[in-house]
């Protein structure tokens, strides 16, 4: 009788909250967070409280991850339409009476603080598209894909108009991943890829003519044209827009095989690298830890992405597979775009390096994305049990 009426231990009470967490995913995340703290201290120890704030943001992101992992995928699916609708309404509000800073209208004043609604759409857009395709499972037709592209075009267009091409690119990529995993035919994908390749080739070959000051580019603004032209030839503006790219390349190249050493980056600490704790932190990392450090970083990201794709392939529902696949490949987009712009192969668009770059909002959104991925992994384990 005593054993029947005895109270459960504290571990028995807490165990359901931790049960089913994917250990390989946590190990990859821990590896990246450790490198992020190491790099932030090395590159930013003389940059105010960046290291302490970065550690605090990581703790906050882990808290968000833990809470999001408790929400089952069925509940996430129910939140898709409300989150997407609220996000689009907030983007419209930004366009109408948003706060403008440095020529960009991206923020909304809600009284106590200012928010950037575009961050919400990084999560809400793939959620919405995964919900859309789940509702049409087994009966997909071309109009369903057209509607999906329309759902994607609304937030991407509103964000690009702010303008915020970096965030628009991330939202676009996340949505395209969902549409691709839903079964979009290669017959529609290949022509677009070939057209894009032809356009990039033509852009590179005609750089001398189209980058003249008197040539106007349709759609893009003047500063965006300047970014692309500077990417094609950074030496045209070595002390202006080209300065970022040139100094990033110098820092990465000077790191050599093993780097200059912990806290010994000259380009970094002599302030030659702009935004050394945020967008260009990979340049600081490459200078101080060299090729060996870059490989260690890529191993961590590769492990996280591969594990995420495995979770996606084993998800019990179409919604889970689409959402997990999109979230996972979104990390690939972050890494590819950030390292590409720092290395001089992509325009500088302000995309952070996950868990390495400083930034509270981005860190929390990444924690939320991984929390949803962990939720899908836990649901898979629950079905097996």
The predicted model gives 149-161 an average pLDDT of 93
Q: Which pLDDT value is given to residue 319? A: 94
Torsion of CA 75, 76, 82, 84, to 10 degrees: -170
Question: Could you give the C-alpha distances from 92 to 50, 95, 162, 218, in angstroms and in order?
Answer: 33, 5, 10, 24
Which pLDDT score, from 0 to 100, does residue 385 have? 54
pLDDT of residue 236: 74
Convert the pLDDT of each residue in 311-350 to its tens digit: 999 998 999 999 999 999 999 999 999 999 888 888 878 7
Res 58 pLDDT > 80: yes
CA dist 217 and 165 (Å) reads 16
* pLDDT tens-digit series, residues 265-308: 888 877 788 788 888 999 999 999 999 999 999 999 999 999 99
Q: Report the chain's mean pLDDT, rounded to a whole number.
A: 86
Which of 65-69, 121-125, 163-167, 221-225 is predicted with the least confidence, judged by mean pLDDT? 221-225
Q: pLDDT value at position 164?
A: 85
What pLDDT score was predicted for residue 59? 94
Contact predicate 231/219, CB 8 Å: no
- Could you tell me the pLDDT band of residue 12, with boundaries at 50, 70 and 90? low
pLDDT of residue 107: 83
Provide CB contacts within 8 A for 180, sequence distance 6+.
Answer: 189
Query: Which backbone phi and psi does 217 adopt, to 5 degrees?
Result: -100, 130
pLDDT at 267: 84
Gap between the Cα atoms of 268 and 273, Å rounded: 6
Per cent of the chain over pLDDT 90 is 45
Residues 177-214 have pLDDT tens digits of: 999 999 887 787 888 888 888 888 887 788 777 787 77
Lowest mean pLDDT across 78-87, 160-169, 196-205: 196-205
Edge-to-edge, what's the strand order for the sheet holding 114-115? 99-101, 104-109, 114-115
Write out pLDDT tens, residues 100-150: 877 778 888 877 777 788 888 999 999 999 999 999 887 888 889 999 999
pLDDT of residue 197: 86
Predicted confidence band at 36 (pLDDT cuts at 50, 70, 90)? very high
Q: What is the mean pLDDT of residues 363-381?
A: 89
Q: How confident is the model at residue 360 (pLDDT cuts 50, 70, 90)?
A: confident
Q: Is the per-residue pLDDT at 66 higher than 50?
A: yes
- Contact partners, residue 385, CB within 8 Å, separation at least 6: none
Mean pLDDT of 145-166: 91
Looking at the predicted structure, is the pLDDT value of residue 78 above 90? yes
């Amino acid at each position: 009788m005593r054993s029947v009426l005895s109270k459960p231990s504290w571990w028995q009470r807490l165990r359901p909250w931790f049960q089913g967490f994917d250990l390989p995913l946590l190990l990859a995340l821990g590896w990246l967070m450790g490198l992020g703290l190491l790099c932030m201290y090395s590159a930013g120890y003389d940059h105010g409280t960046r290291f302490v704030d970065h550690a605090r943001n990581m703790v906050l992101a882990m808290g968000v991850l833990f809470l999001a992992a408790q929400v089952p995928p069925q509940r996430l699916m129910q939140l898709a339409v409300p989150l997407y609708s609220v996000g689009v309404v907030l983007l419209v509000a930004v366009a109408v009476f948003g706060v403008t800073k440095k020529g960009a209208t991206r923020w909304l004043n809600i009284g106590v603080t200012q928010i950037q609604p575009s961050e919400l759409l990084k999560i809400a857009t793939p959620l919405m598209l995964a919900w859309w395709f789940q509702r049409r499972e087994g009966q997909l037709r071309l109009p369903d894909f057209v509607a999906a592209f329309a759902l994607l075009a609304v937030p991407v267009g509103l964000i690009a108009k702010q303008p915020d091409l970096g965030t628009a690119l991330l939202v676009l990529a996340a949505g395209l991943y969902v549409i691709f995993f839903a079964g979009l035919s290669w017959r529609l994908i290949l022509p677009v890829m070939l057209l894009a390749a032809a356009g990039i080739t033509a852009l590179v070959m005609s750089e001398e003519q189209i980058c003249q000051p008197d040539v106007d580019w349709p759609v893009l603004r003047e500063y965006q044209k300047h970014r692309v032209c500077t990417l094609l030839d950074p030496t045209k503006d070595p002390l202006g827009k080209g300065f970022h790219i040139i100094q990033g390349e110098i820092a990465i190249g000077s790191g050599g095989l093993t780097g200059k050493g912990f806290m010994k980056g000259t380009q970094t600490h002599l302030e030659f690298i702009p935004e050394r704790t945020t967008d260009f932190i990979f340049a600081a990392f490459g200078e101080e830890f060299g090729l060996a450090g870059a490989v260690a970083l890529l191993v961590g990201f590769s492990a996280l992405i591969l594990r995420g794709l495995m979770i996606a392939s084993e998800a019990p529902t179409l919604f889970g597979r689409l959402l997990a696949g999109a979230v996972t490949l979104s990390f690939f987009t972050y890494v590819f775009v950030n390292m590409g712009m720092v290395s001089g192969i992509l325009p500088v668009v302000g995309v952070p390096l996950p868990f390495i770059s400083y930034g509270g909002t981005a860190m929390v959104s990444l924690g939320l994305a991984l929390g949803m991925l962990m939720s899908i992994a836990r649901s898979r384990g629950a079905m097996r049990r």
